[in-house]
């Protein structure tokens, strides 16, 4: 292996590592705040990429309808749950937020999609369509079970994953899509070609990670999330609503998932079921980070990216095997030296 190959593989691993890092960090966040191992994280990547692809093609993406449907379900659930204290005004408020806004968004998309407004407005529209799915999914699937065991939440997460993959097939079809790149420019650095798109991916990832850090350290909402992560009961005792931290965690996770989708969609072909394997690699990184430490998870994600691209070079037939095998020594090490602590909640 010569220096050129080494550098090219390094560049490749940095790009995929960046995406895995974003997913790993949000997975750690969601797990520590809500105790949900959020398997469907990858679906937000797919939805983000495919929604943008549909908008670029001038079509109304299925996610616009999905948002309306999911919003309606959430509204019905919210009203049933509050049926004892439901007033007319409250019902109207729920309806406006959960059904009215998605309906408005649907109208906007119907108007905007055929106009092909260009990459940036389409990206914003994509985020507006995909991100609200995060908190809505939390309200429908996880909030009623917020106090259930980790295992139950995991099973629900698997169910949500299957549902979202199936809907992805219905909305986007079986074939893959690629979105146009943020920039087609290619810089030549000696013997290496570096595409502007890959620089964009790495800087966006760095900016998002820095943003998350500042969010957790400097803002009240971020501190609420940290408090809920340390102890749900303690957080409630000091007046932090764990429902709200749940929404917040899922909103962030959907946002970061969708942004990852926007970035990766131009680098590779995305299928309705691509998200799972991407999310799973983020999950491997999160496990390597002990499902606890953000910096460790991010570093582990870079490791996963590196292992992946070097094994695809030297033993392509065993690539996935190698990537998923690195989880075993870590699990062994953890089970011997750091026995699991049962959460007393």
Q: Which residues bind another protein (CB under 8 A)?
A: 5, 8-9, 12, 15-16, 59-60, 62, 65, 166, 169-170, 173-178, 193, 264, 267-269, 271, 273-274, 276-278, 308-314, 316-317, 319-320
Instruction: Report how far residue 208's alpha carbon sits from residue 192's, in angstroms, rounded to the nearest whole number.
Output: 27
Residue closer to another protein by CB (options 108, 291) is 108
Residue closer to another protein by CB (options 248, 267) is 267
Residue closer to another protein by CB (options 4, 241) is 4
CB of 265 to another protein, least distance (A): 10
- The tokens describing 319, both together, are 């690539």
Please, is 10 exposed, middle or buried when counting C-beta atoms within 10 Å of its C-beta (0-12, 13-18, 19+)?
middle
Render 242-259 in DSSP notation, one character per residue: HHHHHHHHHHHHHHHHHH
Residue closer to another protein by CB (options 33, 99) is 99
Residue closer to another protein by CB (options 215, 313) is 313
187: helix, strand or coil: strand
CB of 49 to another protein, least distance (A): 11
The residues that bridge with 270 in the sheet, in sequence order, are 177
Residue closer to another protein by CB (options 278, 300) is 278
- The tokens describing 66, both together, are 């999905």
Residue closer to another protein by CB (options 139, 281) is 281
CB of 310 to another protein, least distance (A): 7
Residue closer to another protein by CB (options 241, 269) is 269
- The tokens describing 171, both together, are 């909305």
Residue 198 near residue 181 (C-beta atoms within 8 A): no
CB of 338 to another protein, least distance (A): 32
Residue 30 near residue 257 (C-beta atoms within 8 A): no
Give the number of other Cβ atoms within 10 Å of residue 81's Cβ. 13
Residue 278 near residue 193 (C-beta atoms within 8 A): no
Instruction: Report how far residue 228's alpha carbon sits from residue 223's, in angstroms, rounded to the nearest whole number.
Output: 9
Residue closer to another protein by CB (options 226, 319) is 319
Question: Which of 30, 97, 43, 108 is closest to 70 using CA atoms?
Answer: 97
CB of 316 to another protein, least distance (A): 5
Residue 145 near residue 121 (C-beta atoms within 8 A): no
Buried/exposed code over 157-194 (b: 16+ C-beta within 10 A; e: otherwise): beebbeebbebbeebbeeeebebebbeeeeeeeeeeee
Could you tell me the CA-to-CA distances from 27 to 84, 138, 283, 291, 297 in Å, in that order?
36, 14, 7, 8, 9
Residue closer to another protein by CB (options 15, 258) is 15
Residue 224 near residue 240 (C-beta atoms within 8 A): yes
**E strand residue ranges, the chain:** 186-189, 192-195
């Amino acid at each position: 292996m010569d220096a050129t190959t080494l550098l090219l593989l390094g560049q490749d691993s940095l790009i995929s590592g960046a995406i895995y890092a974003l997913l790993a960090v949000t997975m750690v966040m969601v797990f520590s705040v809500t105790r949900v191992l959020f398997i469907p994280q990858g679906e937000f990547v797919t939805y983000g990429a495919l929604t943008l692809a549909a908008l670029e093609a001038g079509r109304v993406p299925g996610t616009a309808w999905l948002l309306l449907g999911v919003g309606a379900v959430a509204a019905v659930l919210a009203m049933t749950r509050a049926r004892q204290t439901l007033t007319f005004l409250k019902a109207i408020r729920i309806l406006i937020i959960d059904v009215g806004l998605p309906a408005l968004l649907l109208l906007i998309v119907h108007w905007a999609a055929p106009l092909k407004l260009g990459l940036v407005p389409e990206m914003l529209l994509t985020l507006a369509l995909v991100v609200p799915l995060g908190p809505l999914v939390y309200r429908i699937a996880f909030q009623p079970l917020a106090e259930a065991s980790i295992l139950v939440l995991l099973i629900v997460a698997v169910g949500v994953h299957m549902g979202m993959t199936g809907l992805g097939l219905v909305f986007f079809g079986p074939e893959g899509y690629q979105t146009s790149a943020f920039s087609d420019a290619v810089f030549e650095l000696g013997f290496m070609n570096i595409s502007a798109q890959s620089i964009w991916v790495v800087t966006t990832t760095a900016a998002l990670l820095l943003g998350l850090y500042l969010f957790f350290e400097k803002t009240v909402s971020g501190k609420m999330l940290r408090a809920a992560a340390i102890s749900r009961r303690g957080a409630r005792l000091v007046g932090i609503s764990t429902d709200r931290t749940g929404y917040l965690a899922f909103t962030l996770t959907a946002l970061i998932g969708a942004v990852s989708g926007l970035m990766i969609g131009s680098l590779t072909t995305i299928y309705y079921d691509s998200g799972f394997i991407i999310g799973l690699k983020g999950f491997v990184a999160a496990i390597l980070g002990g499902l606890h430490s953000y910096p460790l998870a991010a570093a582990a994600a870079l490791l996963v990216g590196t292992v992946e691209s070097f094994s695809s070079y030297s033993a392509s037939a065993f690539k996935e095997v190698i990537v998923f095998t690195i989880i075993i020594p870590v699990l062994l090490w953890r089970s011997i030296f750091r026995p699991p602590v049962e959460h007393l909640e």
